[in-house]
């Protein structure tokens, strides 16, 4: 079987896996009409196994199909764009020859800076402003309480993601997961978080309300990265990689 045809078959399978894992379990995200799912795990694996082009297709099309058939048609186009780029980032950065160190440093710097900006924005927003932009907030006291909780959550994730990277970096030595594969999952996950933040801000005409969804999106990609880490480790142990898929 020719390698191109083989990769197309694998891409179709991974597209289906992304669709299924995105659709099978949905946990609604407060403050937006989005939801948490396990699809990011398959997106990470698809990008690593299939590369940027095939992996990007599986990630974007599988996720967009899940939105369309799952009752979220307004998210089909944003999801197609965000998830396709997400898969392409994984596929490119996971390559052994890619120098990911400067990209990782730049991304983590922007990550911490952006979260600090969000913390400052919420801190400077008045209770009246919050209640006007976030439908779930009903009273001024509730607005102040939720703003305080959000600042703590954002501070935790600002520190927590680098710590998670360090922890997985130590574990990867024992589970045959490359540094580039780990970095690709982290950077693409961060892209996903900010991609949906911008898309939500445009769709709802407010860049304040989507800030409340950021911790939930971070939870989604973090869980997906941990699960994908275990899957990639198992595949490595079984000697399954992009090169073996093409040759076999």
| Per-residue pLDDT in tens (0 to 9) along the chain, 248 residues | 566 788 899 999 999 999 999 998 777 766 666 677 888 999 999 999 999 999 999 999 999 999 999 888 999 999 999 999 999 999 999 998 999 889 988 988 888 888 888 888 888 887 778 887 777 677 778 878 888 888 888 888 777 777 877 887 787 767 778 889 989 999 999 999 999 999 999 988 888 888 888 888 888 888 888 889 889 888 888 777 666 666 65
Q: What is the per-residue pLDDT for 144? A: 81
Q: How far is CA 105 from CA 43, 132, 214, in A?
A: 23, 37, 21
Q: What is the per-residue pLDDT for 245? A: 65
205-215 per-residue burial string, b: 16 or more CB within 10 A, e: under 16: eeebbbbbbbb
Give the three-state DSSP class for 248.
coil
- C-alpha angle with apex 109: 108 to 113, nearest 5 degrees? 115
What is the 8-class DSSP label of residue 46? H
Q: What is the per-residue pLDDT for 22? A: 92
3-state SS record for 121-172: HHHHCCHHHHHHHCCCCCCHHHHHHHHHHHHHHHHHHHHHHHHHHHHHHHHH
Q: What is the per-residue pLDDT for 37? A: 81
- Which value, in Å, is the radius of gyration of the alpha carbons in the chain? 19
Q: To the nearest 10°, the Cα dihedral for 231, 199, 140, 123?
A: 80
What is the pTM assigned to this prediction? 0.90
Q: What is the per-residue pLDDT for 170? A: 80
21 Cα distance to chain centroid? 14
- Alpha-carbon distance of 184 to 97, in angstroms, equals 13
Cβ atoms within 10 Å, residue 111: 19
Q: What is the per-residue pLDDT for 237? A: 82
Domains detected in the chain: 3-247 (1.10.1760.20)
């Amino acid at each position: 079987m020719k390698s191109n045809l083989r990769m197309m078959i694998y891409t179709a399978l991974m597209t289906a896996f992304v669709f299924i894992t995105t659709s099978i379990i949905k946990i609604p995200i407060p403050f937006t009409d989005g939801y948490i799912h396990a699809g990011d795990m398959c997106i990470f694996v698809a990008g690593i196994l299939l590369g940027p082009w095939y992996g990007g297709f599986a990630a974007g099309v599988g996720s967009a199909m899940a939105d369309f058939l799952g009752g979220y048609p307004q998210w089909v186009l944003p999801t197609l764009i965000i998830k396709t780029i997400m898969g392409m980032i994984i596929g490119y950065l996971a390559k052994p020859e890619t120098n990911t160190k400067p990209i990782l440093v730049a991304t983590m710097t922007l990550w911490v800076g952006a979260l600090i900006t969000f913390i400052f924005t919420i801190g400077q927003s008045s209770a009246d402003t919050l209640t006007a932009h976030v439908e779930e907030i009903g009273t001024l006291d509730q607005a102040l309480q939720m703003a305080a909780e959000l600042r703590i959550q954002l501070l935790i994730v600002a520190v927590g993601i680098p710590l998670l990277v360090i922890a997985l970096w130590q574990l990867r030595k024992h589970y045959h997961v490359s540094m580039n594969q780990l970095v690709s999952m982290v950077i693409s996950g961060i892209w996903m978080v900010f991609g949906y933040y911008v898309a939500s801000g445009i769709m709802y005409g407010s860049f304040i309300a989507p800030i409340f969804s950021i911790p939930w999106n971070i939870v989604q990609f973090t869980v997906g990265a941990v699960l994908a880490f275990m899957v990639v480790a198992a595949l490595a142990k079984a000697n399954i990689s992009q090169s073996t898929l093409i040759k076999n």
